[in-house]
Each structure stands twice: as structure tokens, then as C-alpha cells.
Amino acid sequence: MNKKILILSYFFIPESVPRSFRTFELAKELAKKGNSVTIYIPNYNYDYTELCKKHNFRIIKINSGFFLNKNKKKSISKQNKSEIYKSGNLKNKITKILFFFFGEKKIEYSLILFKNLLKIKENYDLLISISYPIFVHLGAALALTFNKNLAKKKIADCGDPFYFHESIKLAVYFKYLERFIFKKFDYITIPTDKALNSYLYFKKKDKIKIIPQGFDFESVKTAVYKKNKITTFAYAGAFDSSYRNPKLLFEYLLKLKINFKFLIFMTKENVTFNCIKNYVKNLEDKLELIPNTPRDDVIFNLSKCDFLINVENITTNQIPSKIIDYVLSKRPIYTFYPENFNEKIFNDFLNGKYDNGYNFDIKDYNIKKVAEQFLNLK
């Protein structure tokens, strides 16, 4: 039986971040299965007319905020490399202090979303609220408080934990706000069992389901690999000084006497740049920072590299979101933890020896299987 499905998100294409992929791939597959899918997203400066026709879903754009977060998505496609370098240490410290007490500016989106959801007269079979940020769930929870019949089944899909995130500090009242939010949902879905303990305070174990990130394997295009004249390796995603710090890698790269090319397809551009800015000037043209790249293009470019770099999170409740793209690119993967960089293995990779490459089974990440898991929640 086909269902009426409502999906709520703060991220969507053309923005190249994991939660954008989560929303798009899930909406696309659910509609492909014959369901009626409606998606609420911020007001991106992007024409979705042809996309909606192609995939047979409906998109409703709403404001991203009304004051500090107003029109936040309007210029996302116009961002350029120069904007990466604007964030300073003082600004970062102020941002952390404000985040501790008030959360993010994205909280404004929850109020806009709440207001728009109250206008809905339809009843849905399934509501899927997708975070990050947690404030998508807050908007949905507020709406469900006043309209319990908005959807028969309510799912809060989570990426990284919020209050119990191991590298983020928040005021204690956010724990109780998060508990209020999750009481309005029937299930919490998380991408990995590593995060399970971060949610047991909010839901019983049988109401927390593991549903990984889903990808359309059939749509992926890769290049025919040819060994590069200059050894070329790449990283895709974000660096973070707190839990995904590549310091040991960069310190070793500075010591290398050979020529190489290191491509970084950046997400969270400001945070990533601030983490590696001390090395950028010294590595000069050996390092190339590439922001705002569509996921399909990232995978295609990764497939042309000699090998790929993966930095594991030091936290136990997350897994790197780009691993699936790495595997789909069909290139060897050198992986290390921030505090344990193995120079010998890395040198083997530089010399084309990939015996110690990282292996990861991606069969559970097929979007067809992932969509069925959402549909089968009782």
C-alpha cells in the first residue's frame, strides 16, 4: 500500500553535505516506490521544478529564519573559495560560547517550520524529520504537540548526537529539551550502533533503530583509473581539531621530499580550513582546497586519484560519512586515527603498495534496502 510521506530537513541538494544526501536519496527512493512524498526544506536559491518532475516528489521551500538565520540558504551556491578564510579565532570562541547557552542560529528554522506545519490540513501516514540540526526535530515536535494527527507514524532521523555528542559542550537544559522533542516521535533512527548509548536516555532500546545512510549505487559514475604522473591522493569531508584532527598527517607531509598532490574536497569549509591553515602556506601547490563540489563530481574525481585518506573520529558514537563515497570510487583507502598515524603504511601507499588498505562492506547502504527499513517500521 502506497503511503503519504512528509519529510522535513534543513539540508538538500545542491548543498554538498551528508544530511543533504540523506534527505535527497531517501525522498527519491520513497517516491520511486510509488509513495506520495512531500519535502519541507529551507529557501535555497535553486529551481527544483525539473527535479520534482523527474523524481515525482513535491518540494515546499520555507524561510531559514527571521533574524540571524534569515536567507541563510540564498547564497549557498554562490560561495567561493575566498569565503573560507574569513573565520577567526575570536569569532570561533564567541560562537562556542553562544552555542553552549543558546544553541545555533538554526533554532530560528524550528520556529518557521513549526508555523508552516501548523497550516497543514492533510494527514500523513509517515513523517520523517531529519537532523542535523536538532532544531528540525524541534519544529516537528512543536507541531505534533498541537496537531497529534499530523502523521500516523513519526520518525526522528539523527546523524551526530546533540546533547550527548562527545566533543561538544552544551548547557544542561538542552538535555531536557531534547527529551521533550523525542517524546513526540515513535522512533529514533540512527546510522550506526556506535551512537546507541547517546540516545538511551531519550528512548527505550526497542524504539531506536539502526538505519544507515542510503545511496543509489546504480547512479554512481567513476573514471577509468590510470596511475598519476605525480602521486595524487585525496580527502573528502571535514576536518575538526576536536575529533577528526589530521595534524600528524600534515606534519609528516611537510617532511616529505617527494612531489605529490593532495586534494581536499571540503565540507564545513571554515572549520576545516581553521584546522589546517598553519600548513596551507607551507605545502603551497602540493595542496589543493576544493569547496562546494556536488557529491557525484566528488566521487568521480576521487576515482581518478591513486589513493584516498580517511581520518577516523576519536569519538565512539560516529562514523565518517564519506566512507561510502570512498568505497564507491573504487580506490584504495589509507585510514588512521588522529593520535596514531602510521608512517610506514602511508609510505607504502605513496609507493603504490595498498596491502593495508581499509575495507568496508557497503551492501547495507543501498538506498533500496534503507528505504524499506523506514517503510517497515510498525
Please give the class, per CATH, of domain 217-361.
alpha beta
* The pLDDT of residue 160: 85
> If you average pLDDT over residues 310-314, what whole number do you get?
87
* The pLDDT of residue 346: 98
Closest CA relative to residue 14, chosen from 314, 345, 292:
292
Tell me: the pLDDT tens digits for 58-111?
999 999 999 999 999 987 654 444 445 555 566 667 777 878 888 889 999 999
DSSP-derived pairing of the beta strands 232-237 and 307-311: parallel
* The pLDDT of residue 17: 85
> If you average pLDDT over residues 278-287, what whole number do you get?
95
Domain ranges of the chain: 4-215+366-375, 217-361
Give the separation between CA 273 and CA 292, rounded to whole angstroms.
Answer: 14
Long-range Cβ contact pairs of 30-35 (< 8 A, separation 24 or more): 30/5, 30/57, 30/371, 30/374, 30/375, 31/55, 31/56, 31/57, 32/56, 33/2, 33/371, 33/375, 34/2, 35/2, 35/3, 35/4, 35/5, 35/375
Task: For residue 274, name the pLDDT band (cuts at 50, 70, 90).
Answer: very high
Q: Does domain 4-215+366-375 have CATH number 1.10.238.10?
A: no
* The pLDDT of residue 63: 97
Give the separation between CA 282 and CA 291, rounded to whole angstroms.
Answer: 20
- DSSP designation for 130: E
Tell me: the pLDDT tens digits for 217-257?
999 999 999 999 999 999 999 999 888 999 999 999 999 99
Can you give the pTM of this predicted structure? 0.84
CB 126 within 8 A of CB 33: no
What is the Cβ-side half-sphere exposure of residue 155, based on CA atoms within 13 angstroms?
25
Q: How many CB atoms lie within 10 A of CB 357?
A: 16
- 4-215+366-375 with 217-361: one CATH topology? yes
Tell me: the pLDDT tens digits for 128-176?
999 999 999 999 999 999 999 999 999 999 988 899 987 788 999 999 9
Which residue is listed with cell 571554515? 270
Closest CA relative to residue 291, chosen from 370, 352, 238, 357:
238
